């Protein structure tokens, strides 16, 4: 099976190659694809070197699937051309997520919406993915009315430049001098918290916050779920954390909630107060699961649960989710 990874030299593209190898996706020929300035460079996959090719050459090679992580503009231009050539596209950008003609998929939640007619499939926003994986099994049982979420997001969600800024600031603080580093953010991120992810919209929310609002409804196929979000960048790598307050229509028992989550696909419950055990990005780093803990009843109003949700944003929040979509397509004979 020929597989193209578009944006193969970037932070997420590199992680996609790693995940494809780790999960033993049946790649018989890899086509690493990147911008023209990267053509001819080499990437490594399963111990072999592969030369980076351009978009047109990748389409001509007719891979079965192309996993995109190259930005929204690139996806808008090139994904339809891959699809027109009969190549299934799984796109990690925001380009197609809210397009009514495209499916927005988290396999544990709504893989069944996919059909043979879907040639451009959208991968959701990283912070949305981990939240809906935790919410879906509870929604089935208790029916969610409202979600209030605050995120604590890793700098890896911005990209390599942000990681370089964080460590550049840290080295400068420790050693002083004229350490040079890029500025991915307007402000210092080390020893700081920035309550803005993406641009501000007219309603005062950021684009990232509204992604969580709109994508959650589309993935969970319920326009009646009310979501409000505050998204924040913090100086960590390894994963995104979320404080999630969930109001249900039906009453719940805490022990039953724990049992439902413990048996849910893709979820690991870490919830032991006595042992001070709870999810942290340090422990979620380089893992594919969504970790849930700090489960407790909201004592200020009925039928409401507080939970803490952590996941590696480059893996389940991006690369792993995309590969899982490809695995599902393969299992249904669509690749």
User: How would residue 78 be classed by pLDDT, with cut points 50, 70 and 90?
Assistant: very high
Number of Cβ within 10 Å of residue 91's Cβ equals: 27
Q: How far apart are CA 16 and CA 32, in angstroms?
A: 11
What's the start-to-end Cα distance of the chain, in Å?
9
pLDDT in tens, 210-265: 999 999 999 999 999 999 999 999 999 999 999 999 999 999 999 999 999 999 99
Domains of the chain: 2-124+318-331 (3.40.50.720), 128-313 (3.30.360.10)
DSSP class of residue 123 equals: P
**In sequence order, what DSSP letters do the residues of 241-266 get, joined into one string?**
EEEEEEEESS---HHHHHHHHHTSTT
User: How would residue 334 be classed by pLDDT, with cut points 50, 70 and 90?
Assistant: very high
Give the containing element (helix H, strand E) for 42: strand 42-45
User: How would residue 177 be classed by pLDDT, with cut points 50, 70 and 90?
Assistant: confident
pLDDT in tens, 118-144: 999 999 999 999 999 999 999 999 999
- Catalytic residue IDs: 126, 240
Global confidence as pTM: 0.95
- Give me 95's structure tokens: 């380009």
């Amino acid at each position: 099976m020929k597989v193209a990874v578009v944006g193969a030299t970037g932070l997420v593209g590199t992680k996609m190659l790693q995940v494809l190898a780790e999960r033993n996706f049946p790649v018989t020929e890899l086509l690493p694809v990147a911008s023209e300035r990267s053509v001819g460079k080499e990437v490594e996959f399963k111990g072999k070197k592969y030369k980076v090719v351009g978009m047109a050459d990748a389409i001509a090679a007719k891979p079965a699937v192309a996993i995109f992580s190259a930005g929204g503009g690139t996806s808008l231009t090139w994904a339809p051309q891959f699809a027109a050539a009969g190549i299934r596209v799984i796109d990690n950008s925001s380009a197609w997520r809210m397009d009514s003609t495209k499916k927005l998929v988290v396999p544990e939640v709504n893989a069944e919406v996919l059909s043979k007619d879907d040639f451009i499939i959208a991968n959701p926003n990283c912070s949305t993915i981990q939240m809906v994986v935790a919410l879906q099994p509870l929604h089935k049982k208790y029916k969610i009315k409202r979600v209030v979420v605050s995120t604590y997001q890793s700098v890896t969600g911005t990209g390599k430049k942000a990681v370089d800024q964080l460590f550049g600031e840290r080295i400068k603080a420790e050693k002083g001098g004229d350490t040079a580093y890029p500025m991915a953010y307007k402000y210092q991120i080390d020893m700081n918290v920035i309550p803005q992810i993406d641009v501000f919209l007219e309603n005062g929310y950021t684009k990232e916050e509204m992604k969580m609002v709109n994508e959650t409804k589309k993935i969970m196929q319920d326009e009646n779920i009310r979501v409000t979000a505050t998204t924040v960048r913090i100086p960590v790598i390894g994963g995104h954390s979320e404080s999630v307050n969930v109001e249900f229509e039906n009453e719940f028992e805490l022990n039953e909630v724990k049992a439902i989550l413990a048996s849910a696909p893709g979820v690991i419950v870490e919830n032991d107060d006595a042992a001070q055990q709870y999810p942290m990005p340090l422990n979620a780093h380089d893992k594919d699961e969504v970790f849930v803990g700090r489960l407790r009843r909201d004592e200020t109003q009925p039928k409401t649960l507080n939970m803490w949700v952590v996941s590696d944003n480059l893996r389940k929040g991006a690369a792993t989710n995309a590969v899982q979509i490809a695995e599902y397509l393969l299992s249904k004979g669509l690749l």
